[in-house]
Amino acid sequence: MSFNPQKMLQQMQRDMARAEEELQAARLEGTAGGGAVRVVVTGKRDVVSITIDPAAVDPDDVEMLQDLVLAAVTEALTASRDLEASKMAALTGGLRLPGM
């Protein structure tokens, strides 16, 4: 079997495209306040939805609701970054390549 860098590159490009599709299709969730605020993002970090339990809405404490939304978004985005890192590590054999 001969070493063919062009075929290897083509296979890696196909694998990367598949990983990108999987990341876009993935849905990751972040919650705060015991589930009072729920944020769903894709594996590409696009926010899909934000759900707020009406019981969490207190007009006299808007700051708490803002903190809950921020915490849920942060949790969801962290999960998304972790998923992307694991998929890219699987493709690169754990090598940290620039831009990936």
Q: What is the pLDDT of residues 60-89, one digit of tens each?
A: 999 999 999 999 999 999 999 999 999 888
Q: What's the CATH number where 81 sits?
A: 3.30.1310.10
Range of the domain at 81: 28-92
The 10s digit of each residue's pLDDT in 40-54 is 999 999 999 999 999
Round to whole Å and give the CA distance between 96 and 88: 9
66 part of a folded domain:
yes
62 part of a folded domain:
yes
Contacts of 78 (CB under 8 A, 6+ apart): 30
Q: Residue 44: its pLDDT value, please? A: 93
59 part of a folded domain:
yes
53 part of a folded domain:
yes
Average pLDDT, the chain: 90
pLDDT band at 98 (very low <50, low <70, confident <90, very high): low
Residue 4 DSSP code: -
4 part of a folded domain:
no
Q: Residue 48: its pLDDT value, please? A: 96
Q: Total structural domains in the chain?
A: 1
pTM exceeding 0.75: yes
